[in-house]
């Protein structure tokens, strides 16, 4: 039966009956005019269909056939998503995200996503969150409504508490003490147990308050002492829980020296094991941090330790200056000690120091039923044993239904920062670069999701700009002779493509790619399309200078006699291989690319002078070589982040000052600066590749 433009009640009843029997034969029209159905199926309306000339937003196809390589929907009818929800209610999956207090509605609301086998029927429907998770809705009500006095209800307790809160804020401002006023989370704890857990709206509070006794009403009133941290050192030094991975995880304290559970134990559900910020756990709690820092300083070699005496004083000063965060404690401590003393010390100087067991946080892992699975003070070891099971547990409790594979374009209205799963855990959706396509995945940690999303958006932008990239590469003009001088490294077509690629990379690095809506993505794509060719032309100017400089240098890299100054020539070749690495045209920032001709000229001058005085060249090379070898070793270990790059370019400037001083340096350079830069690079952790992300270029080998 073909549906015409009008729908009668009989038509609706008939279509609903068909939906009951064939609920998976529905599809939604996409921006390309086709239809996307359940389980990622796609089809077109058969040209002979009565609906072909006026395709509806939602379609029911009794048959889906593959005819000569094209998939068509046959026997079509116009349907409404509400009908599908009604008839396929038992097959739907629902997820809720961004639960929040709405002062205007006087209730805790959330956005609901409804899907049928991957086909979204509703994406941001506003619903009452209390029906989905009464306990969390009550907690949000306490923190965002009562603790903030953000209720438009005429109750004497609210008016009184607003006055007390205002006075507390004034007191904090007078004393210029940030943190004197307790946070909303802490203020919410003042109401815990004083209201029925069923209350999560203004109306419910008003109804209960009218029936409450005088004692129950009085219990809701704040005093100024309730809101101010009168003894923060005593109360905050040993908290009952830590806020980690979006959850309050309880702490247990034991003073039983020699036993396995001596010190602090953090109780963690299995589903959150992979989400724990490992570096944050090293900071323990304020009450034990100073003791740990003092022990770390005492464990230093004597040549370093004598600079930080007495150790407890330095420990207390560090605790006062540095807040606990997701950064390796050894790295933060080394940076602080360098800053206050000027002594060259790095995070690696603290490696191998043995601390008492109670100064390492103990992690106790429980399953969903509360049974203890494992415990230990080495989070990496626990994850090695349980990461797979933890990932499965997280997937069962998170909103995994938002995930998609083979995303070829930004066809989402919005990708939320956080989704709330039915199991109570927050998950963090992000686009993930998979090379030729992109996937939408959920992550256990927000920082991992943010890193993956950046690469995923970049991949989608590259896919969306394919035509503009090819056009810019075709139109890019090369000066006469540039292609010939580039020949040892590749052909002219490759040169043009990599220049355009590098220009696009630079634009992407400068752009705000943290986009999560279709409109923002489209605007960013259009802006990049406008700027691409101009950026490529600017980059080409620097590239042409590099091509000429390397062509001038190459004849000087051959030793005049077999075995003559072999170490120096090997060093020159090694330096050139790093400067002209296979991906240098697209990965180097424009500022560094513009400096390459000077570095290559310095190498040329060095090679000329090397033939005249090899002994002098070797003496200068031996000054650089220890730092150069350490630079290459750090890269081999994957520790080539921002600090590594700073050291790399400082060493290039040092080479210029040693071998071709007349060319000048772009920044001040000295042995002390280089030692400090090396310490920073060695303190930098190894890079972590985001799961599923891939490099978007194949490497090009240098000629032998």
pLDDT tens profile 380-429: 899 889 988 888 888 776 655 677 888 888 888 888 888 876 556 778 88
**pLDDT at residue 390 in the model:** 86
Q: Is 553 in contact with 575 (CB distance < 8 Å)?
A: no
What whole-number distance in Å separates Cα of residue 654 and Cα of residue 670? 7
The predicted structure's pLDDT at residue 562? 76
Distances (CA, A) of 342 to 307, 308, 394: 10, 11, 46
Q: Which one-letter DSSP state was computed for residue 533? A: H
pTM confidence score: 0.52
Q: Measured between alpha carbons, how far is 135 from 140 in angstroms, rounded to an integer?
A: 9
Instruction: Say if strands 107-116 and 119-128 run parallel, antiparallel, or are unpaired.
Output: antiparallel
Rg (C-alpha) for the chain, rounded Å, is: 32
* β 404-407/372-376 pair status: unpaired
pLDDT the model gives residue 576:
93
Cβ partners under 8 Å of residue 58, min gap 6: 26, 27, 28, 29, 78, 79, 80, 81, 84
CA distances (Å), 105 to each of 95, 123, 126, 149, 197, in order?
21, 20, 11, 15, 19
Backbone angles phi, psi at 120, to 5 degrees: -75, 120
DSSP symbols for 607-658: HHHHHH-HHHHHHHHHHHHHHHHHHHHHHHTT--SHHHHHHHHHHHHHHHHH
- The closest alpha carbon to 426, from 96, 145, 152, belongs to 96
Which pLDDT tens digit goes with each residue over 337-378?
Answer: 999 998 999 888 998 899 999 999 999 999 888 899 999 999
Three-class DSSP category at 687: coil
pLDDT at residue number 254: 80
**Span between the terminal Cα atoms of the chain, in Å:** 71
Task: Return d(Cα 386, Cα 131) in angstroms, integer.
Answer: 34
Ranges in the chain, pLDDT < 50: 1-6, 175-176, 232-235, 688-704
Beta carbons of 593 and 542 less than 8 angstroms apart: yes
pLDDT for residue 207:
94
Looking at residue 200, its pLDDT comes to 94
- Is residue 607 within 8 Å of 570, Cβ to Cβ? no
User: How, if at all, do strands 247-254 and 107-116 pair?
Assistant: unpaired
Q: Which residues pair with 115 in a beta bridge?
A: 93, 120
Strands of 438-443's sheet, edge to edge? Answer: 119-128, 107-116, 93-102, 419-420, 426-433, 438-443, 404-407
Residue 9 pLDDT: 60
Q: Of all residues in the chain, what percent carry a pLDDT higher than 90?
A: 49
Quote the DSSP letter at residue 414.
Answer: B
Q: Are strands 93-102 and 107-116 parallel, antiparallel or unpaired?
A: antiparallel
Can you tell me the distance from the alpha carbon of 340 to that of 315, in angstroms, rounded to the nearest whole number?
A: 12
DSSP code, position 411 = -
- pLDDT confidence of residue 8: 56
Helices (H), 134-257: 134-140, 156-175, 184-189, 202-211, 214-218, 224-227, 232-236
The candidate with the shortest Cα–Cα distance to 472, out of 491, 500, 449, 502, is 500
Can you tell me the distance from the alpha carbon of 306 to that of 456, in angstroms, rounded to the nearest whole number? 49
Token duo for residue 56: 């509806």
Sheet with 241-244, strands from edge to edge, namely 241-244, 247-254, 263-269, 362-366, 372-376
User: Which pLDDT value is given to residue 565?
Assistant: 80
Instruction: Kindly provide the b/e burial profile for residues 321-342, where b requires at least 16 CB atoms within 10 angstroms of the residue's own CB.
Output: ebebeebbbbbbbbbbbbeeee
């Amino acid at each position: 039966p073909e549906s015409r433009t009008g729908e009668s009640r009989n038509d609706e009843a008939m279509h609903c009956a068909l939906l009951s029997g064939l609920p998976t034969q529905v599809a939604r029209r996409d921006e390309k005019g086709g239809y996307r159905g359940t389980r990622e199926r796609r089809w077109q309306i058969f040209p002979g269909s009565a609906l072909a000339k006026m395709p509806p937003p939602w379609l029911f196809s009794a048959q889906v056939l593959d005819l000569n390589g094209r998939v068509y929907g046959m026997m079509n009818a116009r349907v409404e998503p509400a009908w599908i929800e009604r008839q396929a209610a038992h097959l739907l999956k629902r997820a809720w995200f961004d639960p929040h207090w709405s002062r205007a509605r006087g209730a805790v609301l959330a956005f609901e996503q409804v899907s049928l086998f991957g086909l979204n029927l509703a994406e941001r429907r506003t619903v009452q969150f209390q029906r989905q998770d009464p306990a969390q809705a009550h907690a949000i009500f306490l923190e965002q409504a009562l603790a903030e006095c953000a209720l438009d209800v005429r109750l004497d307790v609210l008016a009184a508490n607003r006055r007390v809160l205002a006075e507390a804020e004034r007191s904090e401002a007078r004393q210029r003490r940030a943190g004197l006023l307790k946070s909303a989370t802490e203020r919410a704890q003042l109401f815990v147990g004083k209201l029925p857990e069923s209350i999560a709206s203004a109306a419910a509070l008003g109804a209960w308050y009218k029936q409450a006794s005088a004692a129950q009403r009085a219990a809701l009133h704040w005093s100024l002492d309730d809101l101010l941290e009168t003894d923060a050192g005593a109360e905050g030094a040993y908290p009952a829980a830590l806020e980690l991975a979006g959850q309050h995880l309880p702490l247990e304290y034991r003073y039983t020296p020699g036993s396995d559970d001596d010190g602090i134990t953090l109780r963690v559900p299995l589903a959150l094991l992979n989400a724990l910020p490992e570096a944050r756990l090293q900071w323990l709690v304020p009450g034990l941090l100073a003791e740990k820092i003092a022990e770390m300083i005492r464990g230093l070699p004597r040549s370093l330790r004598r600079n930080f005496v007495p150790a407890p004083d330095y420990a207390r000063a560090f605790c006062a200056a540095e807040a606990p965060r997701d950064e390796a404690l050894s790295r933060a401590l080394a940076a602080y000690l360098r800053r206050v003393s000027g002594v060259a010390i790095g995070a690696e100087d603290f490696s191998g120091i043995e601390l008492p067991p109670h100064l390492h946080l103990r992690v106790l892992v429980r399953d969903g039923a509360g049974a203890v699975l494992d415990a230990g003070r080495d989070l990496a070891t626990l994850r090695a044993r349980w990461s797979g099971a933890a990932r499965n547990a997280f997937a069962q409790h998170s909103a995994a239904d938002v995930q998609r594979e083979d995303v070829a374009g930004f066809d989402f209205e919005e990708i939320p920062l956080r989704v709330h799963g039915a199991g109570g855990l927050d998950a963090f959706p992000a686009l993930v670069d998979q090379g030729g396509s992109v996937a939408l995945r959920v992550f256990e940690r927000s920082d991992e999701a943010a890193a993956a999303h950046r690469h995923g958006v970049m991949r989608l932008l590259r896919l969306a700009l394919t035509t503009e990239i090819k056009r810019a590469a075709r139109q890019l003009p090369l000066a006469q002779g540039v292609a010939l001088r580039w020949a040892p490294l590749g052909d002219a077509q490759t040169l043009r493509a990599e220049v355009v690629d590098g220009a696009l990379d630079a634009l992407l690095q400068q752009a705000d790619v943290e986009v999560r809506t279709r409109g923002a993505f489209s605007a960013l794509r259009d802006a990049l399309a406008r700027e691409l060719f101009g950026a490529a032309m600017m980059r080409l100017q620097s590239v042409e200078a590099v091509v000429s400089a390397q062509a001038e240098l190459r004849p000087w890299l051959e030793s005049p006699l077999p075995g003559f100054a072999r170490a120096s020539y090997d060093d020159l070749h090694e330096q050139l291989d790093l400067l002209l690495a296979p991906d240098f045209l697209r990965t180097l920032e424009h500022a560094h690319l513009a400096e390459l001709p000077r570095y290559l000229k310095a190498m040329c001058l060095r090679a000329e002078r090397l033939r005249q005085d090899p002994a002098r060249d070797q003496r200068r090379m031996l000054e650089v070589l220890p730092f150069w070898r350490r630079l290459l070793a750090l890269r081999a270990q994957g520790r080539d982040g921002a600090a590594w790059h700073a050291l790399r370019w400082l060493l290039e400037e040092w080479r210029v000052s040693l071998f071709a001083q007349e060319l000048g340096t772009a920044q001040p350079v000295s042995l002390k600066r280089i030692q400090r830069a090396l310490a920073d690079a060695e303190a930098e952790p190894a890079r972590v590749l985001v799961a599923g992300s891939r490099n978007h270029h194949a490497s090009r080998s240098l000629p032998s």
